[in-house]
Structure 1
Amino acid sequence: MASLPGPTFTVSAERLRRDLEHVASYGATASGGVARTSFTDADRRVRAWLADRCEEAGLRLRTDAVGNVFMRLEAPGAPPDTPPVWAGSHLDSVPEGGRFDGALGSLAALEVVRRLAEERVQLRRPVEAVVFADEEGSYHHLLGSTALVRGFSADELAALRGRDGTRLVDALQAMGFDAQAATRVKLSPGDVHAYVELHIEQGAVLESAGATIGVVTAIVGIGSGWLEFRGRQDHAGTTPMALRRDALRGAGDLVARLPEVARSVSADAVATCGIVHVEPGAANVVPALVRLSLDFRDPDRGRLLSLEDAVVAAAHAAAERHALEVTYTRESIIDPVPLDPTMQELVATAAAERGLPALHLPSGAGHDAQNIARLAPTGMIFVPSVGGRSHSPAEATRWEDVEAGANVLLATVHALATG
């Protein structure tokens, strides 16, 4: 791979800010947040806006059958089969999300490609700004990048439904995409030269450390499943507290102990119960059944599995204390993904040459980069999130940090595409 020094020019911070503020209007909510699920009207409009920007910049726009967008700057003189350098992220959001999550990486990648074109940089490899479809998983976690790396069969695609119950194949066809062709978008290792993604941290580590740039070392492993506590349904007024088998008390006991369970495994481990179903669900009935969603994360696979075991053991202990039965069903395990050391070095060097304080850290959230790392050397650049807030209308990143991150992205892409 190429080494720095990088370009003598920078991104247009004013244009990037204008783009970010404009794109936040697609799916804007009354709270100041963004609701832009893939394949909705808001998504259709932001795609049309991207197409206009590509036409203005002389970039070649391509959209594959699962909805991934590729904005390409050619490398004149390079062999036609030369693998491109990719930079990008996503433009879909969670319900009531923020204006930087995904959008920063996607629009900064577009800005980088535009600047390379405007400066007429002599590229050895094509560069593509990539916007992945449905990263937030309305239909499938990291849908677009998963289709590129693992692929989906026709039956798998037909079974996928969105948060609103819409079938994915119907949503694709409504967008004008060929749902059958969506089974044929898979790429092979070597089809991409390298990938780099700029993203907000979505946590408070960088801000707390006074760092401007995060050099991401790995993307955390994520496990999920369901815990089911079973007790006995009884009258809320006539059953003494000591005689109850209250499923919700047992579930609450576990939830209260999750922080100490996570700490017992590692400093990076986290565990969350974000969904609770209570039956029969009446104010005057002792709960007989509680189902809890479980999300657990750690950047090391061995510790991830140990965390799962520790939470399940704690659930059994809580059940015993409250005379309950408990069962656990694993839903999925997504392995941690270490990011390429050479890519980390490129990012760190780009930050150092610009006098930007940097910190090496793992990502506690999932990203398309964890999929693309199976295709090509992959790196990630983080910039601070104010107060660590994300997936919320309160999500914010200072504009000077946006500019700094975009310039580190530019330097990294420039090195990869010219070296």
Structure 2
Amino acid sequence: MKDVTVDGSRLRSTLEELARFGATASGVSRTSFSAADAEARAWLRAEVEASGLSLRTDGIGNLFVTVAPAGATDAPAVWTGSHIDSVPDGGRFDGALGSMAALEVVRRLTEADVPLRRPVTMVVFADEEGCYHHLLGSTALVRPFPPDELAALRGRDDDLLVDALGGLGWDVAAAGRTAVPAGSVHAFVELHIEQGAVLETSSADIGVVTSIVGMGGGRLEFTGRADHAGTTPMAMRRDPLRGAGEFLAQLPDITASISETAVATCGIIGVEPGGANVVPALARLQLDFRDVRREAIEDLETALVAAASDAAGRHGLEVTHTRDSITDPAPLDSGLQDLIESVAAGRGHSTRLMPSGAGHDAQNMSRLAPTGMIFIPSTGGRSHSPAEHSSWADVEAGANVLLGTVIALATR
């Protein structure tokens, strides 16, 4: 079979087109199930159909495009893809690269009439960035969300997921019927920007991911008493934001007490009633915490909740903790690591074996099938910001390694 490569110009064009949806002054804000996301989904459907392919959406918003072999087969498919939702005011490459490269893969397999022995499926996962639940779409493929859990999921703006799905005209009940049968996926490969500076500083072309960090999260609510900001003496206040602030200042010490690799972040703070001249009654913190071992994540959660309770006690507050699910750390398939290294070397690229400190849908997919990840360098290690950047040469190189890996998996 002749060497098949991606159309680099077309890949760049699709990435630039996708970045228009939810564009900000300097970056991209495209939350899953938002108006910008709906526009991007409609555009993607048109792109897929213009290539003679069809797009399917499951109950929770994951998108699928499948290229089948010429003859009938019940062989499990090779999957590849990522996500198109972004963090608020994020960059143009996170998730988008893996999704548009997957589109380029299914296009090139069709155009080059590659003799497949098993299907190849492009997947775009819903809400990877965790507006409603971290790795929402891929989690729903691994285990169905029961109705009561779905009904309780709220977004960054405190809106309900079921309302967001219903607002799109979708069958909300179908969101709990998305789990993929065991054995239906042959392998999964995801292309992604590194989101760090390891590849750039080591001058390696391609990162071959060995494992993905585990993630936990949850909500802390510090409850005090609303009072007048001018007439209530400082010593008489039960100010939940002071207790929350004291807790947040301890995060570096808490994580260091667990391990060298533990991290914890509060990226969302809500205060009620929200008046400049009112001592707050409630301070709400959304936490993200990570480590390379499940046991360390659980120990970190315990330490965080204990520290919050201590801080609340010192300020006369109550505190409650609502736990998000924990996504386990995921070792990736050694055979796929070898295959990715081989494909990259065959194209003249240097490689580096490396773990991922960011969470990815691949860690859920690793529970369904052998899974591999391919990284390309991120300029300055920047990500989750408008400064996120990767060179077009690196984009094309990563996409060609992805295509070569998928072809090897689907034709042998």
Q: Give the TM-score normalised by structure 1.
A: 0.84
Is the contact made by 1:224 and 1:293 (CA closer than 8 Å) also made in structure 2? Answer: yes
Question: What is the alpha-carbon distance in structure 2 between the residues aligned to residue 292 and residue 55 of structure 1?
Answer: 43
1:12 to 1, 7, 19: 7
The residue correspondences of 1:138-287 to structure 2 (distance < 5 A) are 138-164=131-157, 167-226=160-219, 251-276=244-269
Is the contact made by 1:63 and 1:69 (CA closer than 8 Å) also made in structure 2? Answer: yes
Is the contact made by 1:204 and 1:384 (CA closer than 8 Å) also made in structure 2? Answer: yes
2:107 match: secondary structure = helix
Shift in Å at residue 129 of structure 1? 0.9
2:267 match: secondary structure = coil
Residue 397 (str. 1) matches residue 396 (str. 2): no
| Counterpart residue type for residue 53 of structure 1 | E
Paired residue for 1:378? 371
Aligned alpha-carbon RMSD (Å):
3.3
Is the contact made by 2:305 and 2:321 (CA closer than 8 Å) also made in structure 1? Answer: no
- Percent identity between matched residues is 61
Give CA-to-partner distance per residue, 1:265-321, whole Å, 9 cap, x none. 33322122334456887878988976544322111112223333444566677779x
Given the superposition, is the C-alpha separation of residues 62 and 265 from structure 1 closer, same or farther in structure 2, using an over 3 Å criterion? same
Is the contact made by 2:91 and 2:386 (CA closer than 8 Å) also made in structure 1? Answer: yes
Question: What is the alpha-carbon distance in structure 1 between the residues aligned to residue 165 and residue 200 of structure 2?
Answer: 39
2:30 to 29, 36, 43: 36
Question: What is the alpha-carbon distance in structure 1 between the residues aligned to residue 174 and residue 237 of structure 2?
Answer: 57
Question: What is the alpha-carbon distance in structure 2 between the residues aligned to residue 310 and residue 377 of structure 1?
Answer: 34
Paired residue for 2:335? 342
Residue 25 (str. 1) matches residue 10 (str. 2): no
Paired residue for 2:69? 75
Residue 297 (str. 1) matches residue 287 (str. 2): no
2:45 match: secondary structure = helix
Shift in Å at residue 402 of structure 1? 0.9
1:193 match: secondary structure = strand
Paired residue for 2:46? 52
Paired residue for 1:64? 58
Q: Which runs of 5+ in 2 are unaligned?
A: none
Given the superposition, is the C-alpha separation of residues 143 and 236 from structure 1 closer, same or farther in structure 2, using an over 3 Å criterion? same
Question: What is the alpha-carbon distance in structure 2 between the residues aligned to residue 172 and residue 245 of structure 1?
Answer: 39
Question: What is the alpha-carbon distance in structure 2 between the residues aligned to residue 235 and residue 51 of structure 1?
Answer: 53
| Counterpart residue type for residue 46 of structure 2 | D
Residue 360 (str. 1) matches residue 353 (str. 2): yes
Shift in Å at residue 245 of structure 1? 8.9
Give CA-to-partner distance per residue, 1:71-120, whole Å, 9 cap, x none. 1111112x432111100011122222211111110000111111122221
Given the superposition, is the C-alpha separation of residues 317 and 95 from structure 1 closer, same or farther in structure 2, using an over 3 Å criterion? closer
Is the contact made by 1:225 and 1:328 (CA closer than 8 Å) also made in structure 2? Answer: no
Question: What is the alpha-carbon distance in structure 2 between the residues aligned to residue 154 and residue 132 of structure 1?
Answer: 20
Is the contact made by 1:135 and 1:142 (CA closer than 8 Å) also made in structure 2? Answer: yes
Give CA-to-partner distance per residue, 1:14-40, whole Å, 9 cap, x none. 1100110011112212x2222222333
Shift in Å at residue 165 of structure 1? 5.4
Residue 329 (str. 1) matches residue 324 (str. 2): no
| Counterpart residue type for residue 63 of structure 2 | V
201-210 or 104-113, which deviates more: 201-210
Question: What is the alpha-carbon distance in structure 1 between the residues aligned to residue 155 and residue 101 of structure 2?
Answer: 28
Question: What is the alpha-carbon distance in structure 1 between the residues aligned to residue 46 and residue 362 of structure 2?
Answer: 26
339-348 or 301-310, which deviates more: 301-310
The residue correspondences of 1:64-143 to structure 2 (distance < 5 A) are 64-77=58-71, 79-143=72-136
Is the contact made by 2:58 and 2:175 (CA closer than 8 Å) also made in structure 1? Answer: yes
Is the contact made by 2:59 and 2:178 (CA closer than 8 Å) also made in structure 1? Answer: yes
Is the contact made by 1:229 and 1:290 (CA closer than 8 Å) also made in structure 2? Answer: yes
Is the contact made by 2:128 and 2:136 (CA closer than 8 Å) also made in structure 1? Answer: yes
1:274 match: secondary structure = strand
The number of residue pairs the alignment matches comes to 410
Question: What is the alpha-carbon distance in structure 2 between the residues aligned to residue 367 and residue 71 of structure 1?
Answer: 20
1:131 match: secondary structure = strand
Question: What is the alpha-carbon distance in structure 1 between the residues aligned to residue 159 and residue 271 of structure 2?
Answer: 27
Is the contact made by 1:227 and 1:326 (CA closer than 8 Å) also made in structure 2? Answer: no
Shift in Å at residue 341 of structure 1? 1.8
Q: Give the TM-score normalised by structure 2.
A: 0.85
